[in-house]
A and B are shown apart, each in its own frame.
Chain A
Amino acid sequence: DGGITQSPKYLFRKEGQNVTLSCEQNLNHDAMYWYRQDPGQGLRLIYYSQIVNDFQKGDIAEGYSVSREKKESFPLTVTSAQKNPTAFYLCASMGLEGTDTQYFGPGTRLTVL
């Protein structure tokens, strides 16, 4: 089955810790995206990458970091510098030829204890 997987589904972090959220896709998509979703708000873009070894900041990149070493993988690290990290994190991917539709993974819910 082709699709996007995110792990873990639930993640708990103590204050001061860095945590890494996994995102993998087997759709052969070039572009990948990380969004944050808070209750009552729209999805907000954190980082995106259109090719391997290259990525750009989105609207709320402060306190986050990413890497894109493989086409299939785009992990997100939530650092201790992110002051309010409790949220639902969504990864998406998109092919850059033909369709321009983003497809989303199932999400990771991060809670700071």
Chain B
Amino acid sequence: EDQVTQSPEALRLQEGESSSLNCSYTVSGLRGLFWYRQDPGKGPEFLFTLYSAGEEKEKERLKATLTKKESFLHITAPKPEDSATYLCAVQAPPGNTGKLIFGQGTTLQVKP
């Protein structure tokens, strides 16, 4: 069964304290891995798409990496405005239906 697991469930950091969020997946053929940011009461905001092992993408203080079994979202010198829930999702065959399988999310709190 295709599955996505994110850890930790919650993470508290001091401003400037770098850390990483983990997304482990088991799918029968990965088409793509997606990271979203979600603020309370709002829809997810797209961050990154990764397609193959070894791929990396960066945006401001965020860097996403991908291996054959997991993805990491590295947060460098976070600021309070980075506080949010970060969602990981994978897209697997069959076909190009676009169906995503989501993890339960990691809620990040950055204290000033």
Q: Which residues of A contact B (CB under 8 A)?
A: 4, 6, 31, 33, 40-45, 48, 50, 56, 58, 88, 90, 94, 96, 99-107, 109
Q: Are A42 and B43 in contact (CB under 8 A)?
A: no
Interchain Cβ contacts within 8 Å, total number = 64
Residues of A within 8 A of B87 (CB): 42-43
By beta carbon, the residue of chain B nearest A33 is B98
Minimum Cβ distance to chain A for residue B101 (Å): 8
Query: Do A103 and B46 touch across chains, with their CB atoms under 8 A apart?
Result: yes
Whether B96 pairs with A40 at a CB distance below 8 angstroms is: no
**Which residues of chain B (40-62) have a CB below 8 Å from chain A?**
41-46, 49
Among A50, A99, A102, A107, contact of B100 (Cβ-Cβ < 8 Å): A102
CB neighbours (8 Å) of B31 from chain A are: 100
Asked whether B12 is an interface residue with its Cβ less than 8 Å from the other chain, the reply is: no
Contact A50–B97 (Cβ < 8 Å):
yes
The yes or no answer to B8 lying at the interface (CB within 8 A) is no
What size tier do the contact residues of chain B reach?
20 to 34
* Contact yes or no, A100 B91, CB < 8 A: yes
Distance between Cα atoms of A106 and B101 in the complex (Å): 20
By CB atoms of chain B within 10 A, which of A41, A90, A104, A109 has the most?
A: A104
Give A50 to B97 CA distance when docked, in angstroms: 7
B-chain residues with CB within 8 Å of residue A44 when the two chains form the complex: 102
Contact A45 B43 (CB under 8 A): no
Contact B43 A102 (CB under 8 A): no
Asked whether A42 lies within 8 Å of B91 as measured between CB atoms, the reply is no
> Shortest CB–CB separation between residue A23 and chain B, in angstroms?
11
* Residues of chain A lying within 8 A (CB to CB) of residue B86: none
Report chain A residues within 8 Å CB of B91.
Answer: 100
28 A–B contacts from the bound complex (CB under 8 Å): A4-B43, A6-B43, A40-B9, A42-B87, A42-B105, A43-B44, A43-B87, A44-B102, A45-B100, A48-B97, A48-B99, A50-B97, A50-B98, A58-B99, A88-B41, A90-B44, A94-B98, A96-B96, A100-B31, A100-B96, A100-B98, A101-B46, A102-B34, A102-B46, A102-B98, A104-B46, A106-B42, A109-B41
